[in-house]
Structure 1
Amino acid sequence: MALETTRFDVLDYLGTAEDRAAYIEAVIEEGDSAYLIEAIGNVARAQGASAFAAETGLSRETVYKAFIRGGNPTVDTLFKALAALGLKLTVKAA
């Protein structure tokens, strides 16, 4: 009997603002900056890059370069993206 698999796409699970926030929070807990950038790119794609750009106050091109094409966003760009998601970075002792 052959094993049946289905295609997994994280975008299928980012339908609500709460889902997107929980996803980003989980990624931040991992502590991997590349994973965080990828996750924000996934959220931008789930919302639509133009809509996400409008919420962040960034240009659509900046969103693509920084998050969707695996860029290296500035801290300011990262803060704007997180603020658009209703999130903020916090620091706590390890």
Structure 2
Amino acid sequence: MKDKLVAFDMAALLDSDEAFSEYLSQVLADGDTDEIIRALGHIARARGMTQIATFSGLGRESLYKALTPGAKPRFESVLKVIRALGIDLSAHPHMVSR
């Protein structure tokens, strides 16, 4: 008997603002830039790419390209997406090892 693998879709698990916040907070804490872009892509797909493209002022195709793993989007584009997602970022001091 062969088992069939089902494709994992992170966006399908993101069903609330709390889920978006928890997921993105964890990814930001890890600090991996590629993973942050990937997470924003998952959240944008969960919210609806057309809606996020409209709210961000980016074209839908440009949005997909900017949020593709390995992409190097401009910081301005990332901020537009974050704002369109309705996410507030804040800075908090933390201890840095020296």
| Fold equivalence (TM over 0.5) | yes
Tell me the alpha carbon deviations over residues 27-53 of structure 1, each in whole angstroms, 9 at most, x when there is no partner.
100000000011111112112211121
Aligned length: 93
Q: Which moved more, 1:74-83 or 1:33-42?
A: 74-83
Structure 2 unpaired stretches of 5+: none
Contact (CA 8 Å) 1:65, 1:71: kept in 2 or not? yes
When residues 69 and 29 of structure 1 are mapped into structure 2, their CA distance, relative to the original with a 3 A threshold, is closer
Name whichever structure is richer in helix by fraction. 1
Output the TM-score relative to the length of structure 2.
0.75
> Which one-letter code corresponds to 1:88 in the other structure?
L
Does residue 55 of structure 1 match 2:45? no
The two structures have a TM-score, normalised by structure 1, of: 0.78
Query: Any conservation in 2 of the 1:21–1:87 contact (CA below 8 Å)?
Result: no
1:88 paired residue number? 89
Which sections of structure 1, spanning at least 5 residues, go unmatched?
none
Distance 1:17 1:54, change over 3 A: farther
Cα RMSD after superposing both structures:
2.4
Aligned pair in 2 of structure 1 residues 8, 69: CA closer, same or farther (>3 Å)? closer
The residue that corresponds to 2:31 in the other structure is 31
1:75, CA displacement in angstroms? 0.6
